[in-house]
Structure 1
Amino acid sequence: MADAASSTSAPLTAADVAGVQRRTVGVLSVAQVLGGVAFGATISLGAVLAAEISGDETFSGLAAASVTFGTAIIAIPLARLARVRGRRLSLATGMAIALVGVTLVVLAAGIGSFALLLVAFLLVGGGQAANLQSRFAAADLATDVSRGRDLSIVVWATTIGAVLGPNLTGPGELVGDAIGMPPLTGPYLFTIIGQILAIALYVTALRPDPLLLAQRVVAQDAARPEARPIARADQPRVARYAIFAIAAAHGVMVAVMAMTPVHLLHQGATLTIIGLTLSLHIAGMYALAPVFGILADRVGRIQTILIGQAILVAALVTASFGQDAPEAVTVGLILLGLGWSATTVAGSALLTEASAEKQRTRRQGLSDFTMSLVAAIGAILAGVILGWIGYGGLALLVGVAVIAVVALAPLGRAASERTA
């Protein structure tokens, strides 16, 4: 059923739209915290469960790979559902799929089925697909003036959940033992609670639906040339560049990040140092997202993407030439997160505004599919490359993707200027 607010014929003022947008960003941010807690608690034990149930540590990486492939597979159907029924149902559906997945993870651990475990983690990817789609939902009603900022606030909210989730492992195990859950699955109780709360929040509080309301606003503004539009003329070449930049930055980040624990372990680093490095990397990914969002609004989307590429270059050079020093690797991982953040925030804003309203959700789904698929393939190939030319060589080799993003930037900028 279409959202009631989007079906009324009463004209909407700019103040009306701005008020709904503020509420939407707030609701999405809270949901991102809940989804982040759920996802963080799930992934933190995925590798351990995979190794435990399969009986072979070489299969431990398949848990994260299954989640990533699941995210890619579910991204496009969720985007199509959003186009027809709105963000509220689409986001709630993604979290519901993940809820089924987590339930099956607990069942798989209980019966010792590795095949079921992989299927379960595939479904968990639905939650990640919903989390990714949330940043686009934050941009549905935004104008060019605030699109980057609004989108980045929702990205930033992920920081809270990403930090809290893994830290619930200890308490979760205690609770799980007390109620008789299978070993290592206690923390998933918090995951289930987080997902249920996120679903309830989407269904009850994401009203009016931002995407359905955006469709109405676009139709209304077509007759009012003086209105500040929330959508512009279609710019397919710019949209393709945005998709490429987001996917390339994500692939670079995942490839290097996935191999960092292995490299540091071989260098003799303790698990505490490895954990700290990854925590600081995650902080780099999300904590400064609003800064990059404001930067994208003020200096431009493509300019901020290029700033992100410069940070990625600094990250890869630092990680490569400082590979023998854990401190340098840590700095490299922080910079890697910052470069990813700048590119993802600015690229997502660019993709949204470069797409006519009717094209937005399809391209957004394609972007999430592409970046997730690239990440999955990149993580697999990174292990091969690590064994071939080492960590330093891996860091430099993936820099080819950064060069490509920079080289193609003038084409994206020229196309944007011609259709502005």
Structure 2
Amino acid sequence: MNSSIEQYVHDEVARQKLYKRTLWVVILSQVFGGAGLAAGITVGALIAQDMLGTDSFAGLPSALFTFGSAGAALLVGQLSQRYSRRLGLATGFWLGSLGAIGVIAATILTNIPLLFISLLVYGGGTATNLQARYAGTDLANAKQRATAISMAMVSTTFGAVAGPNLVQVMGNVADSIGIPTLAGPFILAAVAYGLAGLILAVMLRPDPYLVAKAIIANEEKANEAAQIVAKATNREGVMLGATIMIVSQVVMVAIMTMTPIHMSHHGHDLQQIGLVIGIHVGAMYLPSLVTGVLVDKIGRYAMAIAAVITLIAAGVMAAVAPVQSMFWLTLALALLGIGWNFGFISGTALLTDAIHPLERAKIQGRIDVFVALSGAAGGMLSGVIVAGTSYATLSYVGALIALATFGFILYRKKGFN
């Protein structure tokens, strides 16, 4: 066993200090990761609309970088499982940075194939931004777990809220150096993702997942009661946690993706769109200040129910909001973000609780693949639905998907509180 790891295996005080330091490193990286994430959310659909000349494929960028995030989630999970969280997470963020640079080049060259490929690679940052939350749980005990997830996610707020509100500023920067205006936010994304990867590569030492695996191996050896990993993982808990995250993701991505297009069609400018999306992204992460505590205190199941109710309210409000009203659109998108937050943190806690520590990184990565793919489907279908019907119809569909989840949660709720 590595000597830098061994001291944490036998010393609880040292382990808690490492747990807190790990959280701070993750928090710092997530501030930059959030800024990188915001670019694709805010202007991805607008770039596609501009380059393709149609609304029907406006959801394609969201789908592409979400498909890319699915592949990256698997890659990051496998690298983390085999080597370390540090290597997996740093690689994912650097892929996101490379993809952002590719998007900038594609807009300069008006090269649609390059745009599509770059958006896929850019998705690596999206996946990593989400997977970083698991690093905070590696050394957390059961009563700290949801709070640790929240602390990792809330730090994303600072960059994620700043990103959309810097759309106009970064557009001006892009203009000043001869780059298309809409590519401006991707300049920010390239730098932010690159810095996030660098922070993790340099500072996430010793690696929390390697320490956690060493602790479990030592405990099993000491107790002479090692169990088969496949039996130790609670598959019912994995399914419940995954379902809550998947539904939260697909409803959020579908409605969020088409909101900039919906607003643009009704006379809202880029600054207004950036404000609404910035508040939405803030609502996705800022409630984490209290969500994790609530999940740990009142239960995973109760917060999953709260997530579904909030997503239903968001879908209905988005559908009926007057198209010229910034207030109602902003409120609907804020509720959409809060519902996602409740669902993602309660689902992640359920998932992490259910997985045996020795296979945690691998299964977490695989589940995030399904979460990403569901989001990609939501993003891709959202443009088709709006083009064929309306934004209101899309929003009602999102509310119905959330409503349908009630039955599944009630069916699976036994044993999860």
Pair in the same fold by TM > 0.5? yes
Q: Which residue of structure 1 aligns with residue 243 of structure 2?
A: 244
CA 1:64–1:416: 2 relative to 1, 3 Å: closer
Matched, 1:145 2:143: yes
Matched, 1:390 2:395: no
Select between 118-127 and 274-283 the one with higher mean Cα deviation.
Answer: 274-283
CA 1:316–1:354: 2 relative to 1, 3 Å: same
Q: Which residue of structure 1 aligns with residue 370 of structure 2?
A: 370
CA 1:104–1:365: 2 relative to 1, 3 Å: same
| Residue 261 (structure 1) shift | 3.4
Distance 1:251 1:203 in 2: 31
Q: Deviations over 1:308-367 (max 9, x none)?
A: 112222223333344567333432222121111011011111100111113322321122
| Residue 369 (structure 1) shift | 1.2
Check the 8 A contact 1:79/1:361 in 2, yes or no: yes
Kindly provide the amino acid, as one letter, of the partner of residue 25 in structure 1. Answer: L
Check the 8 A contact 2:314/2:335 in 1, yes or no: yes
Kindly provide the amino acid, as one letter, of the partner of residue 188 in structure 2. Answer: F
CA 1:214–1:311: 2 relative to 1, 3 Å: same
Q: Which residue of structure 1 aligns with residue 360 of structure 2?
A: 360
Q: Which residue of structure 1 aligns with residue 255 of structure 2?
A: 256
SS at match of 1:130: helix
Check the 8 A contact 2:168/2:271 in 1, yes or no: no
Q: Which residue of structure 2 aligns with residue 193 of structure 1?
A: 191
Select between 265-274 and 408-417 the one with higher mean Cα deviation.
Answer: 265-274
Matched, 1:407 2:407: yes
Matched, 1:311 2:279: no
Q: Which residue of structure 2 aligns with residue 134 of structure 1?
A: 132
Kindly provide the amino acid, as one letter, of the partner of residue 277 in structure 1. Answer: V
Distance 1:3 1:271 in 2: 53
Select between 183-192 and 236-245 the one with higher mean Cα deviation.
Answer: 183-192
User: So what's the TM-score if we normalise by structure 1?
Assistant: 0.87
CA 1:183–1:402: 2 relative to 1, 3 Å: closer
SS at match of 1:398: helix
Q: Deviations over 1:379-419 (max 9, x none)?
A: 222233335553443333333332343212244332548xx
Q: Which residue of structure 2 aligns with residue 290 of structure 1?
A: 289
Distance 2:329 2:104 in 1: 35
CA 1:198–1:119: 2 relative to 1, 3 Å: same
Select between 375-384 and 197-206 the one with higher mean Cα deviation.
Answer: 375-384
Distance 2:262 2:53 in 1: 23
| Residue 189 (structure 1) shift | 3.8
**Is there any run of 5+ residues in structure 1 with no aligned partner, and where?**
226-230
Distance 1:10 1:36 in 2: 31
CA 1:317–1:3: 2 relative to 1, 3 Å: farther
SS at match of 2:35: helix
Check the 8 A contact 1:237/1:415 in 2, yes or no: no
Alignment of 1:212-223 (within 5 A): 212-222=210-220
Distance 1:118 1:3 in 2: 43
| Residue 260 (structure 1) shift | 2.9
The alignment of Structure 1 onto Structure 2 pairs a total of residues equal to 410
SS at match of 1:139: coil
**Is there any run of 5+ residues in structure 2 with no aligned partner, and where?**
224-228
Check the 8 A contact 2:247/2:402 in 1, yes or no: yes
Matched, 1:159 2:157: yes
SS at match of 2:95: helix
Distance 2:46 2:387 in 1: 23
Q: Deviations over 1:233-281 (max 9, x none)?
A: 4211111111011001111112222233344455555555444332222
| Residue 198 (structure 1) shift | 1.6
Distance 1:35 1:111 in 2: 27
Check the 8 A contact 1:5/1:213 in 2, yes or no: no
Match of 1:101 among 80, 99, 102: 99
CA 1:300–1:121: 2 relative to 1, 3 Å: same
Check the 8 A contact 2:162/2:278 in 1, yes or no: no
Match of 2:89 among 88, 91, 114: 91
CA 1:375–1:14: 2 relative to 1, 3 Å: same
| Residue 31 (structure 1) shift | 0.3
Kindly provide the amino acid, as one letter, of the partner of residue 330 in structure 1. Answer: T
CA 1:100–1:266: 2 relative to 1, 3 Å: closer
